[in-house]
Chains A and B, each alone.
Chain A
Amino acid sequence: MAKPAPVADTRDPGSATTTSKRAVSARDIDLPPVMVKQGGPLAKWADDRLGVGGLSKFLMRKIFPDHWSFLLGEIALWSFIVLLITGVFLTIWFKPSMAEVEYVGSYQLMKGMMMSQAFASTIDISMDIRGGLLLRQMHHWAALLFVAAMFTHAARIFFTGAFRKPREINWLIGVGLLFLGTMAGFSGYSLPDDLLSGTGLRFADGLMRSIPLIGTWAEFFVFNGQFPGDLIVSRLYMVHILLIPGLILGLIAAHMVIMVYQKHTQFPGPGRTEHNVVGYPLFPVYIAKMTGFFFIVFGTITLFGALVSINPVWTYGPYNPSQVTAGSQPDWYMGWVEGAVRIMPGWESHWGHTTWSWNVFVPGVILLGAFFTLMALWPWIEHWFTGDERNHNLLDRPQDNPTRTAFGVAIITFMLLLQFGGANDIIATHFKLSLNAISWFLRFAIFVVPVIAFWVTKRICLGLKKGDQERLLHGSPTGEVHRDANGAYIEDHVPISHEEAFALTAIDAPEPLTVAAQADAHGVRRTDGDVSAMRARASHWWSESNIPHPTREELEEAHSHHGDGHEIEPADKH
Chain B
Amino acid sequence: MNTNASTELTPRPVDDPGVEPHVLSYRASDPEVDKEAERRVIACFGLSALFALSSVVIYFAVPHTIAIRVGSFDGNLHNVLFGVTMGLGILLIGLGVIMWARNLMNDEELTEERHDPASSEETRTEVLVMLSDGVRDSGVARRRFLMGSLGGALGLFALPLIVTLADMGPWPTKRVRQQTIERTLFAEATPQKPIRLVNDVSWKPLRAADLEIGQLVNAQPENLRELHDVEYQQAKAKSSIILVRMDPDSIKIPESRRDWQVSGILCYSKICTHVGCPITLWEQQTHHLLCPCHQSTFDLGNSGNVVFGPAARSLPQLKIGVDGEGYLIATQDFTVPVGPSYFERDSRNDFKEGDA
Contact = CB atoms under 8 A, between A and B. Distances in A.
Nearest to A327: B292
A263 B109 CA distance: 16
Interface in B148-183: 165, 168-172, 176-177, 180-181
A479 interface: no
Contacts of A322: 200, 218, 220, 236-237, 240, 270, 278
A300 B343 contact: no
Given A131-B82, A320-B236, A354-B343, A508 B14 contact: no
A306 B80 contact: yes
A296 B95 contact: yes
A61 B274 CA distance: 59
B110 to A, nearest CB: 5
Given A216-B177, A291-B97, A302-B87, A528 B2 contact: yes
Interface residues of B, number: 112
A293 B96 CA distance: 10
A100 B340 CA distance: 26
Contact of B14 (A299, A342, A345, A502): A502
A302 B343 contact: no
B297 to A, nearest CB: 8
Nearest to B343: A215
B181 A303 contact: no
Interface stretch (A11-19, A225-233, A482-490): A225-233
A63 to B, nearest CB: 4
A133 interface: yes
B115 to A, nearest CB: 8
Given A206-B340, A216-B343, A225 B169 contact: yes
A276 B113 contact: yes
A200 to B, nearest CB: 10
Interface stretch (B71-79, B131-139, B205-213): B71-79
A528 B6 CA distance: 11
A49 interface: no
A280 interface: yes
Contacts of B281: 326
B17 A276 contact: no
B299 to A, nearest CB: 13
A222 B90 contact: no
Interface in B294-341: 294-296, 306, 308-313, 340-341
A328 B168 CA distance: 30
Given A212-B343, A296-B94, A321-B278, A306 B83 contact: yes
Contacts of B30: none
B170 A505 contact: no
B87 A305 contact: yes
Contacts of A513: 4
Given A220-B171, A502-B17, A213 B343 contact: yes
Interface stretch (B121-129, B189-197, B344-352): B344-352
Given A228-B233, A299-B92, A306 B312 contact: no
Interface string B213-231: 0000010100000001110
A309 B341 contact: no
A462 B102 CA distance: 36
A270 interface: yes
Given A279-B109, A309-B74, A393-B114, A502 B347 contact: no
Interface in A485-523: 498-499, 501-502, 504-506, 508, 510-511, 513, 520, 522
Interface stretch (A40-48, A182-190, A282-290): A282-290
B356 interface: no
A325 B94 contact: no
B24 interface: no
Interface in B275-296: 275-278, 280-281, 292-296
Interface in B259-276: 270-271, 274-276
B106 to A, nearest CB: 8
Interface stretch (A239-247, A355-363, A444-452): A355-363
Nearest to A320: B236
Interface in B17-68: 17-20, 59, 64-65
A37 interface: no
A298 B90 contact: yes
A1 interface: yes
A134 B64 contact: no
Interface in A521-554: 522, 524, 526, 528, 549-552, 554
B343 to A, nearest CB: 5
A296 B92 CA distance: 8
A520 B1 contact: yes
Nearest to A422: B294
A264 B311 CA distance: 49
A260 B112 CA distance: 13
B110 A279 contact: yes
A220 B172 contact: yes
Contact of A271 (B3, B17, B106, B274): B17
Given A203-B275, A217-B171, A528-B2, A499 B20 contact: yes
B240 A302 contact: no
Contacts of B111: 2, 63, 271, 276-278
A307 B75 contact: yes
B249 interface: no
A217 B167 CA distance: 11
A324 B278 contact: yes
B105 A288 contact: yes
A262 interface: yes
A338 B277 CA distance: 14
B295 A424 contact: yes
Contacts of A227: 234, 237, 276
B97 A226 contact: no
A1 B181 CA distance: 71
12 contacts: A229-B234, A272-B19, A274-B114, A276-B112, A288-B101, A288-B105, A296-B94, A303-B91, A322-B200, A323-B280, A342-B309, A555-B14
10 interchain residue pairs of minimum CB distance: A306-B83, A206-B275, A299-B91, A295-B94, A271-B19, A302-B87, A292-B97, A348-B312, A296-B94, A299-B90
Interface of B: 1-7, 9-20, 59, 64-65, 73-76, 78-80, 82-84, 86-98, 100-102, 105-107, 109-114, 116-117, 165, 168-172, 176-177, 180-181, 200, 218, 220, 228-230, 232-234, 236-238, 240, 270-271, 274-278, 280-281, 292-296, 306, 308-313, 340-348
Given A326-B280, A344-B310, 7 more contacts: A100-B228, A291-B97, A296-B94, A326-B292, A341-B275, A389-B4, A520-B1
